[in-house]
Amino acid sequence: MSDRKRILTGIRPTGALHLGHYAGALENWVRLQHDYESYFLIADYQVSDYADDIARVRDSVWQVALDWLAVGLDPEGSSFFIESLVPEHAELTTLLGWFLPVSMLERNPTLKAEMAAMENPEDGSQERKPVPVAFYTYPVMQVANILMPRAHLVPVGEDQLPHIELTRETARRFNHRFKPVFPEPEALVGRVARLVGTDGNAKMSKSRGNTIELREDAESVARKVKGMYAGPPRGATEPGKVEENPIFLYLDAFDPDTDEVAALKETYERAGLPNKVLKDRLTEVLNTKLDSFRERRARYEANMGLVKEAIEAGTNRMRTISRETMEMVRDALDMNYLGRY
Ligand code: ATP
Ligand code: MG
């Protein structure tokens, strides 16, 4: 084992990854993967809201792994692993549940918003669903995920911050009452804390279907950008407000030529600009970015055996570290008591 500090972060296998994942999280993972000993989790226990579509979850495991490889995560220098193949995560979830008051889940703003969206989908496009028990407690499992490799850093999107706070609190309580097993991990939010959806909604999200996927082809990206929400109706030569047009949020997020974006904003506010000009530019910027991903993805898609090997190797590394942590936890909680007699 190296003496580098550790990263733990992950994604649910509920669909292919999109630009929000990239700007909010993946970009940091790629940047930091070698500075830290990095563990990337495919959270296939935490899919209770997709329990009636297991086929999608199974397929998404491969999509997520391919997307990770496509953006440049290195499966040898870091570890990709599948949660359910390291069932210690379920065991640790059970034990950590001792230390988390229900009130902390009740107050958790991300969990509250997600449960409300399930019980009352705002636009009627999705089916209303009862909240499964496992959904209510998924933040506890996320705490276990982070504490399992005794991680120091958790690079995530902004919506995950309440869960990291829960993790810090749990680590503090456990260490204080028993033995100092867990570091208190820090969160690290990406360059774009929360990317808006193509429909103008506050969050691009797999569940809302307002995404541009990392695997999407050039024509499909062009079509989606063309259909994007670009603020209130406005004549092409009518000055507009930059903050009302989310196309600028995307240009800010992905256009490397910041001077040009500043010039476009200035013209937009002073004299107006047709949305087509902005959208054409965005299409080009995105397709340039996605081209390198597409190429790498295609190489792995043609050799899925490599993807499987990468997951197996990473999962084995996580198994080793999980056994080590569980021994420390069992010792701290005096769970080897039968051996005393
Ligand atoms: P679901 O809607 O099924 O929950 P999701 O798109 O929210 O899916 P997750 O697997 O829950 O994806 O999140 C994976 C990671 O990506 C988290 O760190 C999350 O904060 C980040 N993330 C997801 N969507 C965005 C977004 N629109 N902007 C920034 N970060 C995001
Ligand atoms: Mg989510």
pLDDT digits (tens, 9 = 90+) for 224-243: 999 999 999 988 889 999 99
> pLDDT tens for residues 261-284?
999 999 999 999 999 999 999 999
Extract the tokens encoding 17.
């990854």
Extract the tokens encoding 130.
């009862």
Extract the tokens encoding 34.
């070698």
- Do 186 and 286 lie in a common domain? no
pLDDT > 60? residue 175: yes
pLDDT at 122: 77
Contacts by 117-120 with C-beta closer than 8 Å and gap 24+? 117/207, 118/49
Whose tokens are 């649910």? That residue is: 12
- Do 159 and 121 lie in a common domain? yes
pLDDT > 60? residue 59: yes
**CATH code of the domain in which 110 resides:** 3.40.50.620
pLDDT at 108: 98
For atom 8 of ligand 1, which residue has the closest CA? 206
3-state SS, residue 79: strand
Which residues, in sequence order, are CB contacts of 53 under 8 Å at separation 6+?
A: none
When pLDDT is cut at 50, 70 and 90, the band that residue 1 belongs to is low
23 in a structural domain: yes
**CATH code of the domain in which 256 resides:** 1.10.240.10
pLDDT > 90? residue 300: yes
This prediction has a pTM of 0.95
Distance CA 81, CA 69 (A): 13
- Do 149 and 37 lie in a common domain? yes
pLDDT at 207: 75
Distance CA 225, CA 208 (A): 17
- Do 221 and 292 lie in a common domain? yes
When pLDDT is cut at 50, 70 and 90, the band that residue 318 belongs to is very high
- Do 81 and 157 lie in a common domain? yes
Q: Which residue of 159, 198, 250 sits with most ligand 1 atoms within 8 Å of its CB, as the best mutation to test the pocket? A: 159
pLDDT > 80? residue 172: yes
Structural domain including 231 reads 216-297
Indicate which ligand has the atom closest to the C-alpha of 159. Answer: 1
- Do 89 and 127 lie in a common domain? yes
200 in a structural domain: no
78 in a structural domain: yes
> pLDDT tens for residues 130-169?
999 999 999 999 999 999 999 999 999 999 999 999 999 9
Whose tokens are 């669909």? That residue is: 15
154 beta partners: 187
The Å distance, Cα 326 to ligand 2 centre, comes to 27
Whose tokens are 């995404």? That residue is: 211
Q: Please give the tally of structural domains in the chain.
A: 2
Distance CA 257, CA 10 (A): 31
The mean-pLDDT minimum among 110-119, 128-137, 201-210 falls in 201-210
Q: Which residue of 40, 205, 213, 250 sits with most ligand 1 atoms within 8 Å of its CB, as the best mutation to test the pocket? A: 205
Instruction: Return the percentage of the chain with pLDDT > 70, whole number.
Output: 99
Distance CA 57, CA 50 (A): 7
The mean-pLDDT minimum among 58-62, 203-207, 222-226 falls in 203-207
Distance CA 214, CA 71 (A): 9
6 beta partners: 37
When pLDDT is cut at 50, 70 and 90, the band that residue 125 belongs to is low
> pLDDT tens for residues 286-298?
999 999 999 999 9
Closest CA to 236 of 201, 196, 199, 267: 267
Q: Answer yes or no: are the C-beta atoms of 167 and 143 closer than 8 Å.
A: yes
User: Which atom of ligand 1 is closest in space to residue 23's alpha carbon?
Assistant: 29
> What is the CB < 6 Å shell around ligand 1?
11-12, 14, 20-21, 24-25, 156-157, 159-160, 192, 194-195, 203-207
pLDDT at 206: 82
The Å distance, Cα 268 to ligand 1 centre, comes to 31
pLDDT at 39: 98
Q: Answer yes or no: are the C-beta atoms of 288 and 65 closer than 8 Å.
A: no
Q: Answer yes or no: are the C-beta atoms of 225 and 217 closer than 8 Å.
A: no
Distance CA 116, CA 138 (A): 15
When pLDDT is cut at 50, 70 and 90, the band that residue 124 belongs to is low
- Do 12 and 154 lie in a common domain? yes
pLDDT at 341: 85
265 in a structural domain: yes
CB atoms under 10 Å from CB of 228, counted, come to: 22
Closest CA to 82 of 322, 329, 273: 322
- Do 254 and 237 lie in a common domain? yes
The Å distance, Cα 120 to ligand 1 centre, comes to 20
Torsion angle of the four alpha carbons 141, 147, 153, 156, in this order, in degrees rounded to the nearest 10? 0
Q: In the predicted model, what is the mean pLDDT of the chain?
A: 96
Handedness of CA 233, 237, 240, 244 (dihedral sign): positive
- Do 293 and 309 lie in a common domain? no
The Å distance, Cα 266 to ligand 2 centre, comes to 35
pLDDT at 107: 97
pLDDT at 299: 97
210 in a structural domain: no
